[in-house]
Amino acid sequence: MIRRRDLLLAMPAGLAASALPRDLALAQAAAPAPAAGPRLPAGFTLGASTSSYQIEGAVNEDGRGASIWDTFSHTPGRIKDGSNGDVACDHYHRFAEDVELMAQAGFGGYRFSIAWPRVQPDGTGAPNVPGLDFYDRLVDRLLARGVKPFACLYHWDLPQALQDKGGWTNRDIVGCFTDYAQLTLARLGDRVPRWAMLNEPSVHAIFGHAFGNHAPGMTGWKNYLAAQHHMNLAQGSAIRAVRASHPRLGLGTVFSLQPVLPATDKPQDAQAAVRFDAAWNGNNLDPLFHGRYPQISAGDFAPVIRDGDLDLIKVPVDFLGVNYYGRAHVIDDPNGVIAGAGWGPHPPGTRTTAMGWPIEPHGLVEVLARLRDDYGNPQTFITENGAAYDDPAPKAGTVNDPARVAFIREHLLACQQAIAEGCALKGYYVWSLLDNFEWAEGYSRRFGIIHVDFATLQRTPKASFAYLAAVARGEPTGGIVTGP
């Protein structure tokens, strides 16, 4: 366990206090310049994260079926730059090179997702063996290079054939997802030790089913409620089924979590924050850990809940994956799609990324403290954290991205702080390994620690890659080292 005092002594001299997480900035004023940083605990995993549709390409190869993101991205006007994931980073053919880069960085883990339409082209029935073969090759290569695979079964690329039957708004999908999970684990469960069921069900339910700016482009609160509830059910059902056949594997799921604060001191914004918090955080966390929906949403969900559902959803998890990007500052908005709430201004002076998202490392400590205090302190991994910036072009074999280095560094310090405060955090996977297809933003937003030239598909590691590699090697860089 890291002691708080070690953290305080670890702050490097010369860092602007304003750039630091709140608590650490206060501490720095009193701390002498350090000789070396604190240590992330032995066994803490550093790695990188990706998702299938965003990087794989090869959408028509080896029997893969169409996904909702193929349909959506090929619909004119849906993607900002008119692009799609047909080629993306061509990871399907270049995975060995990508694994090699991770091995060179010294990463202990890689979190990736499996494309359901590669495994079951139309979402049901016998597995498509060549599709599973791809993940088999990937997993074997990772293991051979000492990078532990961490697989996610669903990162938003639903088989289109299932969408044609209503997708996540049709309750039948619970059985389909459970079958898909079992088929996939039957092939890969002997080598992949850790499995997440879903990626960010709240984001998929909100953006894909209420806002409609993500696939499948459905709109309306009713669709949100059905999609969210059926994802909760599918997650519980699949964890139970897979645990019965693979009792030794680590099983969990991945949520996007963020502290939600009213953007002003108006009482109606405070109420809006409670509703928004339920939609973003509570409607995932409370059913899984407590077997109920937050009081404020229970009535909304009543029409889609059947007897026994909440018992099925509440299931022990071996870990929770947490995707953290920043806090939400919200306002009351009667036309707002998220429970009559919307995004308001960030607090004055808040730094932002190229997405316009606030940079708030201390929010990560707050999210983990909430899991510790209200949800039994589950074992957690930061399964996504990172930032888009308008990087310069590659030069002399690298890309200079100091803002991303600072972003990652500040969030690793927040991880250390959370661990020092008793949170059961076990690893950090940066989003993302590669610049990739950023959903509705297309290729206009670069989150990678490795630059991808989308014309030639050439990879160029950025300075942030070198930084994380130094952290992984245990070098006392920027106040952070790993190791015993």
For ligand FCB, the closer CB: 8 or 279: 279
Catalytic site includes residue 384: yes
Among 141-149, 182-190, 196-204, 465-473, which window interacts with ligand FCB (CB under 6 A)?
196-204
Contact present, 197 and 235 (Cβ < 8 Å): yes
Site string for ligand FCB, 444-483 (x = CB under 6 A): ---x------------------------------------
Among 159-167, 197-205, 303-311, 337-345, which window interacts with ligand FCB (CB under 6 A)?
197-205
Q: Which of 323, 353, 416, 464 binds ligand FCB (CB under 6 A)?
A: 323
The residue count for binding ligand FCB (CB under 6 A) is 12
Among 15-23, 104-112, 195-203, 450-458, which window interacts with ligand FCB (CB under 6 A)?
195-203
Q: Which of 150, 224, 431, 443 binds ligand FCB (CB under 6 A)?
A: 431
Q: Is 269 in the site for ligand FCB (CB under 6 A)?
A: no
3-state SS track over the chain: CCCHHHHHHCCCCCCCHHHCCHHHHHHHHHCCCCCCCCEECCCCEEEEECCHHHHCCCCCCCCCCCEHHHHHHCCCCCCCCCCCCCCCCCHHHHHHHHHHHHHHHCCCEEEEECCHHHHCCCCCCCCCHHHHHHHHHHHHHHHHCCCEEEEECCCCCCEHHHHCCCHHHCCCHHHHHHHHHHHHHHHHCCCCCEEEEEECHHHHHHHHHHHCCCCCCCCCHHHHHHHHHHHHHHHHHHHHHHHHHCCCCEEEEEEECCCEEECCCCHHHHHHHHHHHHHHHHHHHHHHHHCCCCHHHHHHHHHHCCCCHHHHHCCCCCEEEEECCCCEEEEECCCCCECCEEECCCCCCCCECCCCCECCHHHHHHHHHHHHHHCCCCCEEEEECCCCCCCCCCECCEECCHHHHHHHHHHHHHHHHHHHCCCCEEEEEEECCECCCCHHHCCCCCCCCEEECCCCCCEEEEHHHHHHHHHHCCCCECCEEECC
User: CA-CA distance, 212 to 204, in Å (whole number)?
Assistant: 10
Site for ligand FCB, residues 380 to 419, rule: CB under 6 A? 384
Q: Is 256 in the site for ligand FCB (CB under 6 A)?
A: yes
For ligand FCB, the closer CB: 40 or 215: 215
For ligand FCB, the closer CB: 9 or 102: 102
- The active-site residue, picked from 200, 360, 384, 410, is 384
For ligand FCB, the closer CB: 20 or 412: 412
Q: Is 199 in the site for ligand FCB (CB under 6 A)?
A: yes
Q: Is 157 in the site for ligand FCB (CB under 6 A)?
A: no
Q: Is 51 in the site for ligand FCB (CB under 6 A)?
A: yes
Q: Is 200 in the site for ligand FCB (CB under 6 A)?
A: yes
Q: Is 203 in the site for ligand FCB (CB under 6 A)?
A: yes
Q: Is 253 in the site for ligand FCB (CB under 6 A)?
A: no
For ligand FCB, the closer CB: 431 or 478: 431
Least distance to ligand FCB from the beta carbon of 155, Å? 6
Q: Is 56 in the site for ligand FCB (CB under 6 A)?
A: no
Q: Is the dihedral of CA 396, 398, 401, 405 positive or negative?
A: negative
For ligand FCB, the closer CB: 10 or 48: 48
For ligand FCB, the closer CB: 128 or 385: 385
Q: Is 438 in the site for ligand FCB (CB under 6 A)?
A: yes
Least distance to ligand FCB from the beta carbon of 53, Å? 9
Residues annotated catalytic, as ranges: 384
* Binding residues vs ligand FCB (CB under 6 A): 51, 54, 199-200, 203, 256, 323, 384, 431, 438-439, 447
